[in-house]
Chains A and B, each alone.
Chain A
Amino acid sequence: MRKIKFEYKLAFSYLLLGGIWIIFSDKLLSSIIYDIRVLTEIQIFKGWFYVIVTAILFFLFIKNHLTKLRDTEIELEHHKNHLEKMIQEKTNDLESKNEELFRKNEIINQKNTELKNTLVCLQDTQSHLFQAEKMASLGILTAGVAHELNNPLNYIMGAYVGLFRHYENKTFSENDEQVGILIDSLKVGVERSVSIVEGLNQFTRNSQSYHEECNLHEIINNSLNILQNQLSNNISIHKQYANSEIIIKGNVGNLHQVFVNILNNSIQAILNEGSITISTKLDDDYVHIEIKDTGEGISAENIEKVADPFFTTKEPGKGTGLGLAITYNIIKKHNGILEFQSDLGKGTMVKIKFPK
C-alpha cells in the first residue's frame, strides 16, 4: 500500500473530523435543545471546544511527527559519523598496507640483487670447478705421463750405457749388430718421448677456439696413453675404428678431457677383469663414437643423474662427480649428444654423436 504523505493525511483528517463534527454536533444539539438562545451559547462553547481539541490534536500529531523526523536526523548524523570513522579507518588501513607493500617491494628488490650476485658467484665457482676438474685430470695425466716417459727414457739410458761402453773400449767395429740395436733403441726412445710430449701438449692446450681440427682417433689414442698407468693388465682394450680418419671441428684440449673422463670411468667401473671396446662410425651427417665397458654398470635410478654436477657413487676423495657434468658441457658445446645405456652388473655403453 502506498504510504500517504503526512500533510495530506493531516489535512484530510482535519477536513473529515471537522465536517463530521459540524454536521453531527449541530444535529445532536438541535435535536435536544430547542431554546435558540441556549443553543447559540452552547454553540460558542462548542466552537471553543472544537478549537481546543483540534489544537491539542494538531500539537500531538506534529510533535509526534517531528520527533520521528528528529530521531531520523540524529540517526542519520550517527550513521554519517560512523561512516566517516569507517572510511578513516579503512584509509588508514590502506595506507599501512601500502606502506607494507612498499617495504616488501624493497625487500624483493634487495633479494633480487642478492640473487644476481649469487648467480655471478655461481658462474665464477663453475668456471673454477671447470679449472679444478681440468687440474684433476691433469693429475691423472702427469702420473700417466711420468710412467709413459720412463719407458722410452729407459731405452735411451740403456742405449747410452751400451754405446758409451763400446766407445770407451773402442769396440764399435767388432759389434756391428749390437751397435745397430743400441742406435735403434735410442731412436725409438726419443721418438716415443716426443710423441708423449706432443700428446701432453695437446691435452693441456689452453685454447678457447672451437674451430680446431680434431682428429678423433688420435685424441682417443692419446687419452688411452694418458690413462695407461690406470690400466691394469686385467683390462683389455679393443679398438674398432672406422677405416678413414675422422676429423671434426672443435677444441682439441677439451675433447681430450671428454675421452679421458669417459675412459677413466670405464676403467674405474671394471673391478676385476674386463674389457673396453671403443668403436667409431661415420654416416652421412654424424660421427658416432661408442665406448662400451664390461664394468659394474649403472642402476636405472642413477643413469638419469650421472651427468649431474657432483653426482658420484665413488668414495670421498675418489670422485668429485664433475667428470661427466663437464664432459656433457663440452659435448654440448660441440653440438653433440651424450647418451648412456647400462645393464647393472653387466656393463655400460656411452654413446657420443657429433655433427660432421
Chain B
Amino acid sequence: MIRKKKILYVDDEKINVQLFQINFSNSFEVLISCSGMDGLLLLDKNLDTEVVISDMKMPEMNGLEFIGKAKGKYPNKRYYILTGFDITGEIQHALDNKLILKCLKKPFNLQEIERILNE
C-alpha cells in the first residue's frame, strides 16, 4: 500500500475538524488541531506534512497569522485557507504575496479539496 499524503487541517470548531478528518482520512493521513499554536507543534513533529489548510477566524491566532508563521519555518509546503468569509483585503493580500495558493470557501466542496490535495 502506498503511503498516504500527510495533511494538516486547523479549525477552532471541533465539529469542523472532526468532519474533515472523517471525510478525508480515506485518501489522506489527516492531522487536525483546534488552534494555530497546536498546528505549529504538529508541523514540528510531522515534517513530511505536504499540505496545510486552515480556518481563517480563530481566537488568539487567525488562519493567516498561523500560516505566516508556519511558512516562515516550512516554506516548501502548500498552504490554503478555508473560510466562510468572502475574500477580504487581508486574504487578497496573502494571495498576492503567494502566502496561500487559494482561498477555499465554506461549506467545503469535497471534489475541489480532493483535487487540490492531490496536485
- Residue numbers of A with Cβ under 8 A of B are 143, 146-151, 153-159, 161-162, 165, 178, 181-182, 184-185, 188-189, 229, 232-233
Contact = CB atoms under 8 A, between A and B. Distances in A.
A182 B22 contact: yes
A70 B84 CA distance: 116
Q: Describe A's contact surface by its main secondary structure.
A: helix
A150 B100 CA distance: 21
A156 B22 contact: no
Contacts of B85: 147, 150, 229
Nearest to B19: A158
Q: Describe B's contact surface by its main secondary structure.
A: loop
Interface residues of B, number: 23
Given A150-B84, A233-B59, A156 B18 contact: no
A77 B106 CA distance: 110
Interface of B: 13, 15-16, 18-20, 22-23, 26, 57-62, 84-86, 105-108, 110
B22 A151 contact: no
A166 to B, nearest CB: 10
30 contacts: A148-B84, A149-B84, A150-B84, A150-B85, A150-B106, A150-B107, A151-B13, A151-B16, A151-B106, A153-B106, A153-B107, A154-B16, A154-B108, A155-B15, A156-B107, A157-B108, A158-B19, A158-B22, A158-B23, A158-B107, A165-B23, A181-B19, A181-B22, A182-B22, A185-B15, A185-B18, A188-B15, A229-B85, A233-B58, A233-B61
A161 B23 contact: yes
B16 A161 contact: no
A159 B84 CA distance: 17
A145 B58 CA distance: 18
Contact of A162 (B23, B58, B107): B23
A147 B23 CA distance: 22
Contacts of B61: 233
A233 B18 contact: no
B105 A150 contact: yes
A231 to B, nearest CB: 9
